[in-house]
Structure 1
Amino acid sequence: MKKYCFGVDVGGTTVKMGLFSTEGELFDKWEIKTRTENGGEAVLPDIVDAIFGKMEERGIRKEDVEGVGVGVPAPVNEQGIIKDSANIGWGYKEVKREIEELLGGIRAEIGNDANVAALGEMWLGAGKGCSDMIMVTLGTGVGGGVITHGKVIVGANGAGGEIGHLCVNSEETERCGCGKKGCLEQYASATGIARLAGKYLEHYDGQTLLSSKSISAKTVFDAVKEGDKVAVEIAEKFGRYLGCALANLAVITDPAVIVIGGGVSKAGPVLLPFIEKPFRESAFFANQDTKFVLATLGNDAGICGAARLIIE
């Protein structure tokens, strides 16, 4: 008898959902709106309604569902409890208990969205076949997931793998969104790269393809592809911050592979040498051969990893 599970990736705008077999076959995927009003009170009921709707549509019985995995944009402890969330309206919330009550007997497992995306890439993506890996997601912020022996490092407060808040510059005077100064996120996120470029162009009046009026991570790496020297220098600075941070992390976790994902990774293979070179210059000798790859699952990483929470 075929068994099923659901993978759910909760975002600030939409909730991505997938129906999987427990062997890892993705049968269907869809999205629903994330209703964040009134403290996000409708988010979990909407998810459960969508799951029951899909089960009815496909003739799936409750006893055929192994469980529902959910990734949320917040630190989550092993009991499935969050203390606060970034953009879905939740404060303290016992996510696992609440959604299991709504599901009426179907098991649920909850994880941080970046950790869950890392699980997805390990299971079905760029890290397939590797049980020890680090994933870094370079988007508006810098997220991450650290996996050892096939298990995500969660930590006592659910904050394991918050790579973006490694301190990489003790001289920084501006604050990160977390309130601290010198976080990796300030230099390696999409907004961080644009910030580096803006600061560079403030003091540069030579020739460059970059314009201070329209700076983004994309324009920087588009200019890198054209051989623009200024863009290359900005990319090298970004790469030093990220590569050295990953070298420090690698000496603790000893990954077989480091997966680079998020919107910035859409720059493609041109991105990797800027990270690899400073990594290898800084890395402990035993970590010198760590492989770097780009993520392959894109927006499906979250639903895949959430499903993996059920069947790992």
Structure 2
Amino acid sequence: MASAGVDKANVLLIGGGGVGAIVALNIETGGRGTVTSVLRSNFNIVNQQGYTINSIDHGDIPGWKPTKLVNSVPDVAKDSLPPFDYVITTTKNCPDVPPTLPEIIAPAVTPGHTVIVMIQNGLNIEKPVFERFPRNIVLSGVSMIGSHERQVGIISHVDPDILYLGAFHNPNFQDDKDEVAAAHAFIKIYGAGDKTNIQFSDDGLVRPAMKEVFEVASKCGHQLPEDIIDTMINLDPMDLYLEPSMLCDFRKGNLMEVEYLVGEPLREAKRVGVSTPNLTVIYEICKAIQWRMKEGKGLVTVPPKRGD
């Protein structure tokens, strides 16, 4: 596990695009970690000129670099390097395209020491990692950031960095005590600069939001079955890829029923005094998406950009 002392954490970041660049910036800004970033297609430009970052959280930063830039994953054992406390992955995870993620990170992972942080999407993405590294802790990060590398080395960070962090349960561990502790330790490192919103979540975003709706319904006098949340989550098989109606509308370019489906439960929660932090996040994200769609349809007017 990563050391909990006063020394800076030794961090390896794989993936230096829009998300990865801000991840590295957050860690370095907080002063509790030093980042070695593994870059591929943008290595030459960033190595020579640094990143040009336009960030809603950090402001405009020209020529920024993490502590170290490399164009391949370091081999800790072969090169007699200090072990990495954390290996963070922000790349796309395509197990059908070699090399696989475990193969990519293997040279940098010290068994029983390195905490692997997967800021990636997908179901069961942790299983091949546990198979390859049965003694390591693996954390899960769900990022809500809006950040893109619009040109090589130029990062446009337009939506605040919100990161939900939890721990995948390693089947080789008796309990999750160490895993939860590792998650909280990483949160302190990542959030030390006070430029990001990182929260511990032991159950993702959807289930907690559904629990909030359940509580609101109960407070309003509607007693739903105790197993309604699990029933609804498991109602449709994953391999059918059935899309919720709001997602269907979004992909068709249609306006979504944000207010009735999300807004009304939220307003009802406020009326009866139920705290709904997860539902609030979902609502604000949906409202932002809806606003952009309204803009595209000419339903709202954006003020022209002021000149200098």
Q: TM class, shorter-chain normalised? A: 0.3 to 0.5
Using structure 2 for the length normalisation, give the TM-score. 0.33
Higher Cα Rg, which structure: 2
Q: Which has the higher contact order (CA 8 A, sep 6+)?
A: 1
Using structure 1 for the length normalisation, give the TM-score. 0.32
